[in-house]
């Protein structure tokens, strides 16, 4: 049998080698049989193992696996390792940017570097703009909060003014009646007593006629101050009208109400007011009524206290009279 020329055999071996390398490169599958001598086969096998290792490394990079290792050396392997290192550093920079560090810049990836750096600059500018707007919103919120607090303060002031007598700063008649009705309803439910004292400054018209209305106002304010000092926090002192005042005493018995009224009367009689060098003094008469013996409604109790006050006036003034006594 005639032997084939050496050149043909060499060409066929080279073709088979290239086919094996191409198959590995395209499919990742290494042929079981390799062409050439044993030494050629060993060198080709090592080359194909290196190619397979670089192929697996490249696939890992494409999937974002930056922990994959490549243990071979060479220009191509070194370039792949450098790419992996750059991607790792880029990942770390992205994490820093996510934490707010917009000083990060890339200068090792060519055209990508400029695109990346442009993106970071845009993010930094956007953050600066957002911070400025957030500060503006914070200031606007502070202003709105201040305005809201001022509105709430004014509303509270208006509510207080609506229930206060402007001259004496005591509760007005409307608020007293509303509160008195609630106290009576509560006393009905819980079996408690409620007392009311109605008092009137004696000879008040003479005081006004002699010294003028400013002197009368001073006397009204003095009585109001006394009532605020001498009553408990849950009592309801009010200016009922003109020179008449009413105090609602929650839970007070007949004896307690009489003692409280007498104390107010005596303390007021001891007052001396300086009015432009003139000493003013006055007295009060008071009528006392208590729920439930003297009435079971606010109207009934106020009428009873008013009748007792009239009796105190008729008896000579400057005294306290209990209804029905």
Catalytic residues: 243
Rounded Cα–Cα distance for residues 220 and 239 (Å): 9
Burial 34-72 (b: 16+ CB within 10 A, else e): bbeeeeeeeebeeebebbebbeebbebbeeeeeeeebeb
Are 320 and 202 contacting, i.e. CB atoms less than 8 angstroms apart? no
Token pair, residue 310, equals 């009239």
User: Using CA atoms, how far apart are residues 90 and 61, in angstroms rounded to an integer?
Assistant: 13
The neighbouring-strand residues paired with 247 are 197, 237
The DSSP secondary-structure symbol of 293 reads T
* Closest C-alpha to 292, from 156, 190, 210, 192: 192
Positive or negative: CA dihedral 205, 210, 214, 215: negative
Closest CA to 228 of 161, 170, 162, 179: 170
| Rounded CA separation 176/69 (Å) | 89
């Amino acid at each position: 049998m005639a032997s084939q020329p050496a050149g043909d055999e060499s060409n066929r071996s080279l073709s088979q080698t290239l086919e094996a390398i191409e198959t590995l490169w395209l499919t990742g599958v290494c042929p079981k049989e390799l062409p050439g001598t044993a030494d050629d086969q060993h060198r080709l096998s090592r080359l194909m193992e290196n190619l397979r290792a670089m192929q697996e490394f490249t696939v890992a990079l494409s999937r974002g696996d930056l922990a994959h290792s490549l243990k071979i050396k060479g220009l191509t392997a070194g370039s792949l390792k450098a790419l992996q290192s750059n991607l790792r550093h880029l990942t770390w920079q992205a994490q820093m940017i996510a934490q707010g560090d917009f000083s990060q810049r890339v200068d090792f990836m060519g055209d990508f570097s400029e695109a990346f750096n442009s993106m970071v600059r845009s993010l930094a500018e956007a953050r600066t703009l957002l911070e400025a707007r957030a500060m503006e919103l914070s200031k606007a919120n502070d202003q709105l909060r201040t305005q809201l607090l001022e509105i709430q303060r004014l509303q509270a002031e208006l509510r207080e003014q609506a229930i206060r007598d402007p001259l004496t700063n005591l509760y007005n008649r409307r608020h007293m009646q509303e509160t008195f009705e609630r106290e009576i309803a509560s006393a009905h439910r819980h079996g408690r007593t409620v007392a009311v004292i109605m008092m009137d400054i004696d000879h008040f018209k003479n005081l006004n006629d002699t010294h003028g209305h400013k002197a009368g106002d001073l006397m009204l304010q003095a009585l109001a101050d006394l009532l605020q000092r001498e009553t408990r926090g849950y009592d309801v002192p009010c200016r009922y009208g003109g020179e008449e005042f009413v105090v609602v005493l929650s839970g007070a018995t007949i004896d307690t109400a009489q003692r409280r009224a007498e104390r107010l009367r005596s303390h007021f009689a001891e007052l001396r007011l300086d009015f432009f060098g003139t000493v003013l003094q006055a007295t009060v008469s008071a009528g006392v009524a208590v729920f439930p013996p003297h009435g079971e409604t606010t109207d009934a109790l106020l009428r009873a206290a008013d009748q007792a006050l009239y009796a105190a006036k008729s008896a000579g003034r400057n005294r306290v009279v209990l209804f029905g006594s």
